[in-house]
Amino acid sequence: MKKKLLSVVLASAMLTGTLAGCGSGGSSSAPADNGGSAEAGGDAAGAEAQTDEGQVINIYSFNDELRNRITAVYSEIENTSDDGTESTLKDGTVIHWIINPNQDGVYQDKLDEAIGAQASASADDKVDIFAAELDYVVKYTDADINVAMPLESLGINPDTDLADQFEFTKTVACDQNGVQRASTWQACPGVLVYRRDIAKEVFGTDDPEEIGKKTKDWTVMKETAEALKAAGYYTFSSYADTFRLYNNSMTDAWVAPGETVIKVDQKILDWVKDSKEWKDAGYFDPAVKGQWNSDWFAAMSSSAKVFAFLFPAWGIDTQMVPNWDGAEGSWAVTNAPLSYNWGGTFVLAAEGTDNPQHVKDIILALTANADNLTMISKEYADFTNAKSVMQAAAEDDSFASDFLGGQNPYVYFTPGADTIKMAPLSAYDQGCVELVQNAFNDYLQEQVEYDKAKENFETAIRERYPEITEIQWPE
Amino acid sequence: MKQKSKKIDYSKWGYIFIFPFFASFFIFSLIPLIDTIRYSFYEYYRSGLKEIGPNFIGMANYAELLTSDMLKYAGNTLILWLIGFVPQIVIALLLASWFVDARLKIRGQQFFKVVIYLPNLIMASAFAMLFFTLFSNKGPINSILLSMGLTQNPIDFMGSVLGTRSLIGVMNFLMWFGNTTIMLMAAIMGISPDIFEASEIDGCNSIQRFFRITLPLIRPILAYTLITSIIGGLQMFDVPQILTNGQGSPDRTSTTLIMFLNNHLKSKNYGMAGALSVYLFIVSGILCFIVYRITNDDDPDGSKAAAKKNKKMGRR
């Protein structure tokens, strides 16, 4: 009987403890009635009022890259749970990592839902930091929607704190009024990554400088492709690989701000025309269609006959390294026919965050701290967003990569980054880029006529974006 | 002890036990259903994070759908369903009549019944993913064909209309023929053995027996299979969606109606998607009504039609 009584007492004590915790949590979310609850909650509420920070930092991301980077650079983090869903900071604050895949818009759906509920969410459920890819960052930096905090209101001055970042990464992170609302730790200048063994066999040399002369522009590139074809090799795996080069040199955005008309750029039609020509000439591997599928990955293996891929730094590390099955050091990088930028993960502070101090510290540690960025470049072979660090890396042989046979890739990345001119972005980019490739894929695979492909693109766009009123093609 | 009531009434337990179903049906099915119909009369979608609408626009969504490619996608759906259904019903009939034939005495019947049903247990999306990998340009099927010398270049199965549609048809066939076989077996077993015996004494051969006795007597179940399969076919989504990466390629020839619906939901276009759903609802509703009539009227004993007939006879 005594035991039973004891257990009842213990259980009720625990219950009261839990409820008390709820009480103090509630008071921080509703500062209006702070007076009343501070008396009731006693010490707990008092301690919280001092730091003025929430207990939970929610970070939304589309893969574990952001988590790996932040845990690597943010010194406040004490430990991370084994399943990677939670990290604890030294002051007891907990980071919740909420990761949803990008495929099929899942990540954006979940994020939009959470942001939509931001105002009414309790402090512990509010989004604090979220990641966005270059393809859709504009959607979130929009000043009218105002879901991402201007960096200045966090206490970050883009002109001084982020002075070392590449200019183009800052431009694309600004809203329509020129206020920077996002920051990134990486810049993604693309290079041409080629197989050393094929280069030796066909051109007699695998020296990046020599090969670079053969890939410096499209005209020379075509002669190179002809030579490769004669030896039984394909220059690129498919026309999808070259798309970013054309897309990135567009002069106007897909949709001008405030308009509902899609203007297809001449550069996109150039891509279709050139791709057709190259495909008919046999410069692409006919078995590969598009990217991110098993055929494409197989084209990166030692049994494939593909000479080169067009990738930024992240592509080499995350796509080529896991898919290559031959000897280490079989690849090398050189300049691409056109300088381009592909991708980039931006970090945004959500409007309404209850942890502004931590958010500011994380963003600064990840995107503005030169030591951290150097470390990321060395450890993860990422091209980081710091001009001086990258300048130094280009001259420092300790940045050489084993995968590239001891070559220092920054020699090619860094000058590429300086010359990048970003195509103007719009909130429709992701859909346009995806759908235009799908539509013309049918044309390039000889399933439909050219005009039918255009028509299919228009149909698909109107389905995806009901507000689009017109689609204009260049003359 | 005082007896509270003379009759013990258990009926309240019946209501209590069915209550959870009705509650969840009401919350999770009926309210969304009514909302879907309501939103189909509105302009209601999202542009980025901005919400547009809901603005009442009457039947505009319905009219716009009729002018769009909806009928083409309905045609696609029908073709894809036919490619899967025709072999499915033929093979299922054949297997069912073999399995129940007392004279054939097939050994290991139970084993085969389980095996033919197995593909249905795999999730459709996993199945589609498997086929996507098997039939990709550098996949195992192409490797086998190449090494056997049957083809010089890898066959681009998913690059042609015929290839894509056939693959989808084959998948639907493989997934559903076991299910249909088991259903038809039950139907054939329901036929009185006397009839079969009598026909044999009269000198019927097996082909005559199949066409003159089995087939006419299982007609209600056949019709039921047909209609439920059409309704299932109308909702075809996961197999073509996964196989073609959501594009319905090439040239949208494998885009089904539900994939079309899904495209609208990418922009959270509840208005247009709602209107499309209402069209589908009407078509499925008509088909369901037909099933209802067939299953209720053709039953020779105890059905409504039989009861009506009896009543008429009685009056006379």
Task: Flag if A438 and B263 touch (Cβ within 8 Å).
Answer: no
By a Cβ cutoff of 8 Å, what residues of chain B touch chain A?
45-50, 52, 68-69, 133, 136-139, 153-154, 156, 159-161, 245-247, 249-252, 260, 263-264, 266-267, 269, 272
The answer to whether the CB atoms of A298 and B138 lie below 8 A apart is yes
Tell me if A7 is assigned to some domain. Answer: no
Q: Quickly tell me which residue has 């051969």 as its tokens.
A: B205
Q: Which residues of B189-199 are buried (b: 16+ CB within 10 A; e: fewer)?
A: eeeeeeebeee
CATH code of the domain containing A233: 3.40.190.10
Which residue range is the domain that position B170 belongs to? 52-315
Query: For position A39, what pLDDT does the model report?
Result: 38
> Cβ–Cβ of A115/B49 closer than 8 Å?
yes
pLDDT for the residue numbered A37: 38
Same domain, A204 and A174: no
In a shared domain, residues A380 and A401: no
Question: Which residue of chain A comes nearest to B153, CA vs CA?
Answer: A287
Closest residue of chain A to B273, computed from CA coordinates: A463
Q: Which residue of chain A has the CA closest to B158?
A: A289
- Among A409, A241, A205, smallest CA distance to A313 is for A409
Q: What is the residue type of B179?
A: N
B48 to A460: CB separation less than 8 angstroms, yes or no = no
Residues A461, A317 within the same domain? yes
Q: In chain A, whose CA is at the least distance from the CA of B136?
A: A295
Predicted local distance difference test score (pLDDT) of residue B223 = 86
For B201, left (φ over 0), alpha (ψ -120 to 50), or beta? Answer: alpha
How distant is the Cα of B278 from the closest Cα of chain A, in angstroms?
18
pLDDT at B282: 94
Of B48, B161, B250, nearest to A427 by CB-CB distance is B48
pLDDT score, position A257: 83
Which residue of B45, B136, B252 is in closest CB contact with A466?
A: B45
* 8 A C-beta contact, residue A246 and residue A271: yes
- The alpha-carbon gap from A457 to the nearest alpha carbon of chain B, in Å, equals 10
pLDDT at B5: 58
Say yes or no for a CB contact (<8 Å) between B137 and A289: yes
Taking an 8 Å cut-off on Cβ atoms, the answer to whether B250 and A448 are in contact is yes
What pLDDT is attached to residue A25?
Answer: 36
A27 domain residue, yes or no: no
Question: What does the pLDDT profile of chain B (316 residues) look like in tens digits?
Answer: 555 556 788 888 899 999 999 999 999 999 999 999 999 999 998 877 778 878 899 899 999 999 888 999 999 999 999 999 999 999 999 999 888 887 788 888 889 889 999 999 989 999 999 999 999 888 899 999 999 988 888 888 888 899 999 999 999 999 999 999 999 999 999 999 899 889 989 998 888 989 989 998 998 888 889 888 998 999 999 999 999 888 888 888 999 999 999 989 888 899 999 999 999 999 999 988 887 787 665 555 545 555 566 666 656 5
Per-residue pLDDT at A1 exceeds 70 = no
pLDDT of residue B297: 58
CA distance B276 to B62: 8
Q: Please indicate, yes or no, whether residues A364 and A422 belong to a single structural domain of this protein.
A: no
Mean pLDDT score, A294-314: 91
Q: Does residue A30 fall inside a structural domain?
A: no
Average pLDDT over residues A110-122: 89
Q: Please judge whether A441 and B249 are an interchain contact, meaning their C-beta atoms are less than 8 angstroms apart.
A: yes
Question: Are A467 and B133 in contact (CB < 8 Å)?
Answer: no
Count of structural domains, chain B:
1
Q: Which ipTM was obtained for this model?
A: 0.82
Does residue A35 belong to any structural domain of this protein? Answer: no
Question: B30 in a domain, yes or no?
Answer: no
- The neighbour count for residue A245, using CB atoms within 10 Å, is 21
pTM of the predicted model as reported, rounded to 2 decimal places: 0.82
The distance of A134 to chain B (nearest Cα, Å) reads: 15
The DSSP secondary structure of A155-218, one letter per residue, reads T--TTTTTTTS-HHHHHTTB-TTS-B-EEESB--BEEEEEEHHHHHHHHS---HHHHHHHTSSH
Decide if B159 and A289 are in contact by the 8 Å CB cutoff: yes
Least Cα distance to B294 among B209, B214, B222 occurs for B222
| A428 and A467 housed in the same domain | yes
Chosen for mutation from B42, B44, B47, B49 (greatest number of chain A CBs closer than 10 Å) is B49
How far B47 CA sits from the closest chain A CA (Å)?
Answer: 7
pLDDT given for residue A371 in this prediction:
92
Query: Distances from the Cα of B154 to the Cαs of A24, A245, B138, B140, B166, in angstroms?
Result: 66, 29, 7, 11, 17
H or E stretch at B142: helix B140-147
Q: Are B249 and A294 in contact (CB < 8 Å)?
A: no
For residue A289, which residues of chain B lie inside 8 Å, CB to CB?
Answer: 137, 156, 159
Q: Answer yes or no: do A129 and A211 share one domain.
A: no
- If 0-12 CB within 10 Å is exposed, 13-18 middle and 19+ buried, where does residue A3 land? exposed
Asked if B69's CB is within 8 angstroms of A427's CB, the reply is no
In this complex, which of A105, A448, A465 lies closest to B251 when CB atoms are compared? A448
User: What tokens appear for B229 in the block?
Assistant: 């399969």
A319 is a domain residue: yes
C-alpha A110/C-alpha B146 separation (Å) is 44
**Please, what is the average pLDDT of chain A?**
86
Residue A245 inside a domain? The answer is: yes
Looking at the fold, whether A62 and A203 belong to one and the same domain comes out as no
With b for 16 or more beta-carbon neighbours within 10 A and e for fewer, the A324-358 pattern comes to beeeeebbbbbbbbbbbbbebbbbbbbbbbbbbeb
Of the pLDDT bands very low, low, confident and very high (cuts 50, 70, 90), residue A43 is very low
Contact A104 B246 (CB under 8 A): yes
Q: CB of A216 within 8 A of CB of A229?
A: no
- Cβ contacts below 8 Å, chain A against chain B, sum to 81
A447-454 contact pairs (CB < 8 A, 24+): A447/B159, A447/B160, A447/B161, A447/B249, A447/B250, A447/B251, A448/B250, A448/B251, A450/A272, A452/B251
Q: Name the one residue in this structure whose structure tokens are 């991708």.
A: A343
Query: Minimal CA–CA distance to A167: which of A396, A385, A321, A362?
Result: A385
Residue percentage of chain A with pLDDT more than 90:
50
**Statement to judge: residues A271 and A307 lie in one domain:** yes
In this predicted structure, the answer to whether residue A47 has a pLDDT above a threshold of 50 is no
From the candidates A294, A455, A467, which should be mutated to test the interface with B, based on the most B CB atoms within 10 A?
A: A467
Q: Are residues A415 and A318 in the same domain?
A: yes
The alpha-carbon gap from B137 to the nearest alpha carbon of chain A, in Å, equals 5
CB contact under 8 A, B267 and A465: yes
Please indicate, yes or no, whether residues A329 and A355 belong to a single structural domain of this protein: no
Q: How many helices (H) and strands (E) does chain B have?
A: 16, 2
Task: Please answer yes or no on whether B250 and A467 come within 8 Å at the CB atom.
Answer: no
- The verdict on A274 and A285 lying in the same domain is yes
Residue A277 has pLDDT above 60, yes or no: yes
Q: Which of A31-45, A257-271, A306-320 has the lowest mean pLDDT?
A: A31-45
Residue B20 lies inside a defined structural domain of this protein:
no
Q: Among A104, A145, A289, select the one facing B50 at the smallest CB separation.
A: A145
Q: What is the pLDDT of residue B206?
A: 86
Q: How does DSSP assign A372-420, residue by residue?
A: HHHHHHHHH---BS-HHHHHHHHH-GGG-BTTTTTB-THHHHHHHHHT-
Predicted local confidence at residue A24, as pLDDT: 39
Residue B287 lies in a domain: yes
Q: Is residue B217 part of a domain?
A: yes
- B45:A147 CB<8 A: no
| Whole-angstrom distance, CA of residue A369 vs CA of residue A57 | 21
For residue B231, the domain's CATH number is: 1.10.3720.10
Mean pLDDT along residues A234-242? 94
Q: Among A447, A458, A461, which would you mutate to test the B interface (most chain B Cβ atoms within 10 Å of its Cβ)?
A: A447
Substitution target from A103, A437, A438 for chain B, most B beta carbons within 10 A: A438
> What is the residue range of A112's domain?
52-187+344-388
> What's B160's DSSP letter?
S
How many distinct structural domains can be found in chain A? 2
Q: A283 and A221 in one domain?
A: yes
Residue at A8 is within a domain: no
Contact A293 B136 (CB under 8 A): yes
Residue B259: what are its φ and ψ, rounded to 5°?
-65, -35
